[in-house]
Amino acid sequence: MYTVSTDYDPGDTVEFYVSASFAFDLDIGISDPNGFLYITIECDAEDHWMRIGDYSIVPYQAFFKLPINAVSGTWTWTALEDTKELANGDFAVGVTYTGTLSISTTPVDGEVFVNEESWGTVPAPREVEVGTYTVTFGDMLGYTAPSAEEAIVLVDALFEVEGLYVLIPVVPQLVITYTPDTVYANDEVTVTVEAEEAPIADADVWIFDPSGETLLFKVTDDLGTCTFTADEAGEWWISASKTDYIDAESVAITVIELAPVTDISLSVGWNLVSLPLIPTDSDVEVVLADILDDVESVWSYDAGTWYSYSPGAPSDLTDMVDGEGYWISMTASATLTVSGTEMPVNPFDPLPAYPVVEGYNLMGFKSTTPMTVSEYLLGVEYVRIYEYVDGYHMLTASDNMMPGRGYWIAVSEPGTIYP
pLDDT at 396 over 70: yes
Q: Are 401 and 375 in contact (CB under 8 A)?
A: no
Residue 394 bridge partners (DSSP):
386
Percent of the chain residues topping a pLDDT of 70? 96
Separation between Cα atoms, residue 256 and residue 235, nearest integer Å: 9
Q: Are 288 and 281 in contact (CB under 8 A)?
A: no
pLDDT at 186 over 90: no
* CATH number given to 98-167: 2.60.40.10
Confidence band, pLDDT 50/70/90 cuts, at residue 55: low
Domain-wise residue ranges, the chain? 2-93, 98-167, 175-256, 259-419
**pLDDT at residue number 60:** 63
**pLDDT at residue number 133:** 96
Separation between Cα atoms, residue 419 and residue 406, nearest integer Å: 14
User: How many Cβ atoms sit within 10 Å of the Cβ of residue 151?
Assistant: 19
Confidence band, pLDDT 50/70/90 cuts, at residue 47: confident
pLDDT in tens, 325-377: 999 999 999 999 998 888 886 777 888 999 999 999 999 999 989 999 999 99
The reply to whether domains 98-167 and 175-256 share a CATH topology is: yes
Amino acid identity of 398?
S
**pLDDT at residue number 54:** 64
CATH H superfamily, domain 175-256: Macroglobulin (MG2) domain (2.60.40.1930)
Mean pLDDT of 129-151: 95
Identify which of 336, 332, 341, 351 has the alpha carbon closest to the alpha carbon of residue 404. Answer: 336
pLDDT in tens, 97-136: 889 999 999 999 999 999 999 999 989 999 998 899 999 9
Q: Hey, CA dihedral for 341, 343, 345, 351, is it positive or negative?
A: positive
User: How many Cβ atoms sit within 10 Å of the Cβ of residue 65?
Assistant: 11
Residue 301 bridge partners (DSSP):
306
pLDDT at 169 over 90: no
pLDDT at 408 over 90: yes
* CATH number given to 2-93: 2.60.40.1930
| Mean of per-residue pLDDT scores for the chain | 91
Separation between Cα atoms, residue 339 and residue 337, nearest integer Å: 7
